Amino acid sequence: MLRLTTVMTPDEEVRITAAPRDLCVFDSRLNPYHGEGRLFTCQTGNTAAQAFFSPLEKEGATVFYFQNLSGLADYFNNTKAKPGGCVGGEWPEAGFILPQGEKPLKAGVPVTIADLFVAVDSGLRKQEADAAVMFMDSLARIYPLLPQPRWEFQDWPELAKATMRSLTGSAGCTRTVNGKTYVEAYVGSTYKPPESMVQGALMVPLLEYAEWRGQPVPLLEELRHVPESFYDPKLEIPVRWLADAEFTREERSEEEHRYRMDSWYLLHTIMNLGRMAELGMDNARKVFFDSLPTLMKVARHFKYDWPVFYDQRTLKVFKEETGEGRGGEQDACGLYVHIMLEAWTLNHEQEYLEEAETAALKLQELAFGVLYQTNNTVFGAAALARLWRVTGKTIYKDLSLVSAASAFSHLWLWWLGRETRTFMGLPPLHDALYVAFYEEAEILAGFLAWQTEMREAMPDSFALFIAEYQKHLLTRGQFYFPSELPEDLVIKEPKEGVLKPKLHIPLEGLGGPGDQAGTVGQAVYAAAAPFILASHCWHRIEDVPFALFCSYPVFDPEHAGDRRSGTLTFRTGGSNRLSCMVRIFLPAGSKVLSLKLKVDGKTLRQSGKSKESGGAVSAQVPGAATVSITWE
């Protein structure tokens, strides 16, 4: 890996208005290479300033290029230039161009204008999974060298309680139609009917949260009617819009038509019905299985290549491609695989497993281009890993690695100082210029499910980024709430609904430094995110007398003993190149007198009862370590 840094000190005030790209491919005679090339992935919008490609001449080579935009923080902050879209070019150029700023550089002040990493590997990566692993391994090599924001603990169980109070105690979050409660998509978006996906997006995390908390959630009980309320008995499948409510706004967006369905939307809704069924909701199970015959007919009609919009009654396509030449919603097929595996898990009918395999093979030629919507791509990766475990066919494991790498290739891996609140963010869509809390929390849940399936087959670099993604989301997730942002950075008139800054309901849409947040609206369904973070990152284990928090994923927890004395053992996710925070929360009135924490057999901390952090005991622990906690 080569690192090249360029620092410029202007003799006089200067504004850079044009610059060449810094990377060009040459042939053996040092002439610009005009043969064919293969681009695996490149910066899109605000993603990391990277390119991963291969010249295809003779034996070829594979090139990883990364421009460390964080190292250029002074340039961006002083000139007000934007970090998006600065790596690309026309073949054989493929590198970085210094973006033009609004303000000039000052005379006599040194400023870094390039900080790049390049790795060239001889030979071509003919297998997509090999290319995916090389990309992730290269990214993992430089990640520890990148400037990062300071990690800060956030109490998501308490934040989840605040969100629940806003959901249940404030007008504009829910609506009653014919005596039944429904969740709004956005605060105050009463001009359109309730939506099926929105209900499931909140209900599944609430079911997990209720199980984690060990107590019923009253709002969840009010929503238990939802599965059958959106099921259309004539179409024999759920619809998007509630039949018992009307559109009342004259101007409608392209999806706001009664039977117009967005493919991923339907698949996400049915996937969540399956998840509800797995969590014990009998009415969801019935609607899930009642919907499958029609869903399979639709999938086969489209040959598993799902369009953007179609009419559920006639299957007429209104919008076939996500963009010119890009095809349909490529990763929707992964959601369909997930659904078929849910059905097979619930009743073990071979038809569903065979259908999952047929659909999965449709993903073979998509490579890094599989991503349309990031959370769906990640759930598809989890489904493919599950399919590999069930069938033993390596192709599905390889496809899952490519899907996960495609998601990680969209990371916002730059930090320009305190005004950057999106480090390690993942946008909801392949070309989105913002990040969104619901999708990010669901991405984390999907990655954790994927790693659970992959287990020992998980490459170290993938594990590193899953763990670091969780760690940073736990800190920066707070900035999705309007109360945590400067007032001038919160939009006053969002596209959807109304803004109520005092509500603990997340904004949809955090952009780059200086961009206003919440352009889409205050997303009620994104209220699921605090419940996901609380139930997935705080661990309550029967007969263990404390709650365990870890900023990295926790795997394989085992314990011996009882609440008076015993030992809990678990494995941290991530890589041993980096570390995480483990925090033990002793409840009020705990009779535990001493705690001993060991890492890979060596005592790291031993203490008596502590008042640190409100009754918590903390320790810094390596990733990929075996941790044991003994109490008495």
Indicate if the pLDDT at residue 609 is higher than 70: no
Contacts of 24 (CB under 8 A, 6+ apart): 32, 92, 93, 94, 95
Q: How far apart are CA 608 and CA 611, in angstroms?
A: 10
pLDDT of residue 250: 85
Q: How far apart are CA 136 and CA 423, in angstroms?
A: 18
Q: How far apart are CA 370 and CA 309, in angstroms?
A: 18
Contacts of 497 (CB under 8 A, 6+ apart): 172, 184, 185, 186, 187, 188, 189, 521, 522
pLDDT of residue 94: 87
For 341, the token pair is 């595996």
For 489, the token pair is 């950075």
User: 611: pLDDT confidence band, cut at 50, 70 and 90?
Assistant: very low
* Average pLDDT of the segment spanning 108-137: 95
Q: CB neighbours (10 Å) of residue 323?
A: 10
Distances (CA, A) of 29 to 24, 25, 32, 307: 14, 11, 9, 46
Question: Closest by alpha carbon to 352, among 402, 401, 291?
Answer: 291
Structure-model confidence comparison of residues 312 and 606, the more confident one: 312
| Longest CA–CA separation in the chain, Å | 77
User: 58: pLDDT confidence band, cut at 50, 70 and 90?
Assistant: confident
The three-class DSSP label of residue 550 is strand
Which ranges in 109-195 belong to alpha helices (H)? 128-142, 156-169
Q: How far apart are CA 244 and CA 230, in angstroms?
A: 10
Contact status, residue 463 vs residue 573, Cβ threshold 8 Å: yes
pLDDT of residue 363: 96
Predicted TM-score (pTM) of the model is 0.96
Contact status, residue 500 vs residue 518, Cβ threshold 8 Å: no
Burial of 345 (0-12, 13-18, 19+ CB in 10 A): middle
Q: Encode pLDDT of 362-418 as tens digits.
A: 999 899 999 999 999 999 999 999 999 999 999 999 999 999 999 999 999 999 999
Reduced DSSP (H G I as helix, E B as strand, rest coil) percent helix, strand, coil of the chain, to 5:
35, 20, 40
Indicate if the pLDDT at residue 600 is higher than 70: yes
Rounded to the nearest integer, the mean pLDDT of the chain is 95
pLDDT of residue 60: 84
* Average pLDDT of the segment spanning 626-632: 95
Backbone CA torsion sign across 70, 412, 84, 482: negative
Indicate if the pLDDT at residue 604 is higher than 90: no
Phi, psi values for residue 244, rounded to 5°: -85, 10
| pLDDT cut 90: percent of the chain above it | 89
pLDDT of residue 614: 46
Q: Locate CATH 2.60.40 in the chain.
A: 540-631
Q: How far apart are CA 41 and CA 52, in angstroms?
A: 5
Q: Encode pLDDT of 216-269 as tens digits.
A: 999 999 999 999 999 999 999 999 999 999 999 888 999 999 999 999 999 999
* Long-range interactions of 350-356: CB distance < 8 A, separation 24+: 352/292, 353/390, 353/391, 355/296, 355/299, 356/383, 356/387
Q: Locate CATH 1.50.10.10 in the chain.
A: 182-536
Distances (CA, A) of 551 to 98, 154, 477: 35, 10, 13
CATH domain 182-536 topology: Glycosyltransferase (1.50.10)
What dotted CATH number matches 540-631? Answer: 2.60.40
Q: Encode pLDDT of 62-84 as tens digits.
A: 999 999 999 999 999 999 999 99
Contact status, residue 431 vs residue 44, Cβ threshold 8 Å: yes
Burial of 610 (0-12, 13-18, 19+ CB in 10 A): middle
pLDDT of residue 324: 86
User: 519: pLDDT confidence band, cut at 50, 70 and 90?
Assistant: very high
Q: Which helix (DSSP H) or strand (DSSP E) does residue 345 occupy?
A: helix 332-347
Q: CB neighbours (10 Å) of residue 603?
A: 11
User: 608: pLDDT confidence band, cut at 50, 70 and 90?
Assistant: low
pLDDT of residue 612: 45
Contact status, residue 145 vs residue 130, Cβ threshold 8 Å: no
Question: Closest by alpha carbon to 362, among 325, 336, 389?
Answer: 336
What is the per-residue DSSP string for 410-439? Answer: T-B----STT---TTB--SBTT-SSEEHHH
Q: How far apart are CA 77 and CA 96, in angstroms?
A: 18
pLDDT of residue 448: 98
Tell me, what amino acid is at 133? V
